[in-house]
Amino acid sequence: MIPLSEGQVPFSADAVIIGGGINGLTTARELAKQGLKNIVILEKNYIGSGSTGRCGGGIRQQWTTEENIRLAQESVRMYEEMSADLGYQVFFRQGGYLMVTESETDLPALRQAAALQNQCGVLTEFLQPQECLRLVPDLDTSNLKGATYCPKDGTAYPFAVVWGYAKACHKLGVNIHIRTTVLDIEMDDGRIKAVVTDRGRITTPVVVNCAGPWARDMAAKVGVSLPNRQERHEIMVSESLKPFLDPMVISLSNGIYFSQSLRGEIVGGIGDQSEPHWENPDDFNTNSQLRFAVRFAKALLAYYPRAAEVRMMRQWAGMYDVTPDHRPILGSVPGLDGYFHICGFSGHGFMLGPVTGVRMARYITTGRQDDIITSLSLDRFEKGEIQADGFVVG
C-alpha cells in the first residue's frame, strides 16, 4: 500500500505540485531524483481522477511536428522500460498504430508526416489500403485511400502507470495528499510564497501547475491567463474477447480510434464537434450519452463489421485541456519566480507525460530551458509562433 494522506498538509515544502495525474507524478518523481527533499503533491480527488484516469491509454509517435515526434519518441523509450524502472507492471504493449484515411486529400500529409517521422528515427511506413489487411485482416478497406503504420506505438494501462509513479514517488519521500483542494496561491513581490489549501497552508518557493482541466483556474490565482479550454470526450469499452487486434486503429476522416486491451476489451472513442466547451470544470458532466454510443458503434462497424456481435459494457466521459494549437504549454512566466506550468496537452498528456516530467524537472532545478520547452512556452501565442500539429484525432 502507498500511504496517501487526507489530513493536515505540512507547513513547508521545497516544491508543491498541483495535480495527481501523469504530469504531476512524473514531475514530482524526477524532482526528487534530482535532489529536492521535501515535495508535496496536492490532488483534489484521488490519484489519476482527472484526465489521466479517463483516457484511452494510447501512445504514438506519428505526428506532423518535430517537437511532438521527439517528445513521443522519448516517451516511448521510457514506456518500454517503465515496468522495470518503477517496479510496477504498467501493461505497456507495442501493437503499433494504424492511421487510416478515407480522403485522397489526406494522402500528401500522411506521406510527408511519415517522411518526417523517418527522418527523426521513427520507423513509420505508408500503406496502400489492401496492405492494411496484413495488420488487421478483417478491416473494411473499401473506403480507405491510404494509411500509415508505426509498429513501436502502443498502449498502457493509465491507472497502473499513475500508481507505479505514486509508488516510486513515495520511495523517494514525496508526500502525496489526496482530497485536498487548493484555495489560493500566495505571492510576495513577484515570487511564489505559499499555497493555501482546505487542509492548511504550505510555505513554498515553487509551485508546479499540473492541474489538467483546472490548470487555467490555478494559473489565474497568480495572475496568469492561459488560453486553455475544456472539451468533453467519451470512451466506450466492450466485453472481453479473444485477442484479434494488435494495433490501435485511428481514422483521420472521422476521428474514431479503437484498440484491444490485454484483457481483451475493445477500447475506443470518437470526437464530437457539437460538444460544448466547459468554462468551469467543476460543472463538468460525466454522464454517459446515448448519442456517443450510437456514433461510436456506427463508426466502429464501418471499419470493423465483425464488431456487430460484440456487446458494449460501459462508457465514461473525460475532459481534454485544449490549447489553440493543440500542443502543450510548458515552462515558466517572466516576472513570476517559482511558478511553472505543465498543461494543455489536448488529449495527449498520457503519451507525453513521462518525458515532459523529466524535461521540466531539469528546467525547474537548473533554470536551463531546452529547445522543446522554449518552443512550447506560453508566450508563443502572443508572439504568433504557433505551429499546430495536423494529426490531432479523437
pLDDT tens per residue, range 297-355: 999 999 999 999 999 999 998 888 999 999 999 999 999 999 999 999 988 999 999 99
CA-to-CA distance for 268 and 307, rounded, in angstroms? 12
Give rounded-to-5 percent helix, strand, coil for the chain.
35, 25, 40
Share of the chain above pLDDT 70, in %: 96
What confidence tens digit (pLDDT) does each residue in 1-19 have? 677 888 899 999 999 999 9
Residue with cell 511519415: 114
The mean pLDDT of 147-153, rounded to a whole number, is 97
Which residues neighbour 167 within 8 Å (Cβ) at sequence distance 6 or greater?
Answer: 2, 86, 87, 88
Fold category of 94-153+229-322 in CATH: D-Amino Acid Oxidase; Chain A, domain 2 (3.30.9)
Q: What does the mean pLDDT of the chain come to? A: 93
CB atoms within 10 A of CB 171: 13
The mean pLDDT of 155-163, rounded to a whole number, is 96
Kindly give the pairing relationship between strand 312-322 and strand 229-240.
antiparallel
Q: Which residues pair with 175 in a beta bridge?
A: 40
pLDDT of residue 390: 64
Angle at 388 between CA 226 and CA 271, to 5 degrees: 85
The mean pLDDT of 124-128, rounded to a whole number, is 97
CA-to-CA distance for 17 and 72, rounded, in angstroms? 23
Residue 67 banded pLDDT, cuts 50, 70, 90: confident
CA-to-CA distance for 279 and 283, rounded, in angstroms? 8
What residues does each domain of the chain span? 1-93+154-228+324-394, 94-153+229-322
Which 3 state secondary structure label does DSSP give 61?
Answer: coil
What values do phi and psi take at 153, rounded to 5?
Answer: -70, 165
CB atoms within 10 A of CB 314: 11
Taking alpha carbons only, the member of 341, 32, 337 closest to residue 176 is 32
Q: Which residues pair with 259 in a beta bridge?
A: 267
pLDDT of residue 273: 74
Rg of the chain on CA atoms, in Å = 21
What confidence tens digit (pLDDT) does each residue in 170-226 have? 999 999 999 999 999 999 999 999 999 999 999 999 999 999 999 999 999 999 999
What confidence tens digit (pLDDT) does each residue in 39-51 have? 999 999 999 999 9
pLDDT of residue 276: 65
pLDDT of residue 6: 84
**CATH hierarchy code of domain 1-93+154-228+324-394:** 3.50.50.60
pLDDT of residue 2: 74
pLDDT of residue 278: 66
Taking alpha carbons only, the member of 298, 251, 63, 62 closest to residue 145 is 251
Which 3 state secondary structure label does DSSP give 332?
Answer: strand
pLDDT of residue 285: 75
pLDDT of residue 5: 80
Is 99:148 a contact under the CB 8 Å cutoff? yes
Residue 167 banded pLDDT, cuts 50, 70, 90: very high
CA-to-CA distance for 302 and 296, rounded, in angstroms? 10
| Secondary structure (DSSP) of 271-317 | --TTSPEES-GGG------HHHHHHHHHHHHHH-GGGGGPPEEEEEE
Residue 34 banded pLDDT, cuts 50, 70, 90: very high
The three cell numbers of residue 185 are 496561491
Residue 252 banded pLDDT, cuts 50, 70, 90: very high
pLDDT above 70 (res 53) = yes
CA-to-CA distance for 282 and 20, rounded, in angstroms? 16
pLDDT above 80 (res 394) = no
Q: Which of 61-65, 295-299, 304-308, 381-385 has the lowest mean pLDDT?
A: 381-385
Is 256:56 a contact under the CB 8 Å cutoff? no
